[in-house]
A and B are shown apart, each in its own frame.
Chain A
């Protein structure tokens, strides 16, 4: 969708190229996050896509078409653009701001009106309450939402976002990030996103392009980046806590033990004992008639029970459970908080899916690192 082919940008009077021989491809509907220290060329790269800056050499293709062969203004009208300070027009109302590009494209009044209302609702602003406000009456978070709505106005397939959530407080930032991820699920734009915050990059990106001194150092999915940094620079940039960060990218089902004996609470003691005999595990998950989990019994407690149904009083509820969309990071946090080594995963309907074990998390992450470890080069060549 967006393709950089050996793109170089050199500013007049500068010794070093701002961007040096960059080649990469952003797939349709994906978010590519450019990240790196200041002066690494990430913003220059972004701004070459809509020709705020023009490449010194190389080609940039959007939708297979070289951007330099298109009319500059037409190209820009087809690319959503969001920048840090929002750049909302202070003399225009929220409505007029969002309507900017549709007006450039000559849409009729009716169409603009319904589109603006639709967009404001999409970014979580009540149109009746906000459409006629001026930017100075908005909070930082609201301004950014209007900025995003304005960029989406003409439904461009491509969006460029330059530190869009950089100027708001941390709580609002997290909120805007989450909202934007939900929004992106719906609109599926091809996005180039610039940030200097690696955590934001990991959270927002399908792929991350780490840049340093104008060069692309690594272009990979967040998981690969965290598990197998290409060099020391990347490893240092993503931080020594990268093994913790990777946990937030791995979903719980990856380590879920699904083979688990489940017994109905109406079962006879015999069934319970038979189930324990058939397994190595020391706990048995108990569910009710409707397959909803009610708790567990331990092997020891099952031994103490005597009557056929009396074992029921040994059923203990789980201190906590996890939804299937939880990450390993959530699982670990809950384990530490409740001082347990295993947590059941259930759907929202309380249907049992399996158990997560601390040991499994440890070995899974350990293996992931070993697999991604680059082969030792040079040494040990067969003699």
Chain B
């Protein structure tokens, strides 16, 4: 049942992308997203798509896992596309019916905007597919460390993030178990009107909240028992260290962004 939901959606594999320092992946994803807004013509899209395909090939993640990320935003995608299509004014009017005017510029903008959104989503899902949630929080903690100077509790935020991520599968499993236990007692979650269905959730939510509170309490005690006192002076078991391939990856990203910007200035289409 609920076990089939993949949150955090890490895809385990042995690949060059998986082995990169998570900081590189976070920064690279950020650069890629920025690069999507650096061009206006077709050639830019082709370069961005080719670059992305190379990365997917390198990561050894099956393509269907990557496209799966688009499903949840399909509604937003259609909405944005429709807005762009209807609200873009231009000279080449294709259809004019009442207050609806569709222009060639509008169609072009719609296609490009939708493409941009798709690249944005699948680009970031490639990062989450190749990086474990723990690596991701490590990377964020390390990248945001300078903010400590302005009294932002970076370590604490990262710790909360990793605890929250750690608890998602536990709570999903717990929900699954409680649901099954209540199903075994003849509970019915599927029939009835909306109010009956909401009411039928009570036997799931109360045990779930009780167990979440119990787990949180246990964890707090366990952390306290190990003298956890926040980030000050705390060292890591596996500190993040840049290696040669990470530098190389940064260089690849630098080349890519230069290429995109250059293409935007030089190429006519």
Q: Do A and B come from one complex?
A: no
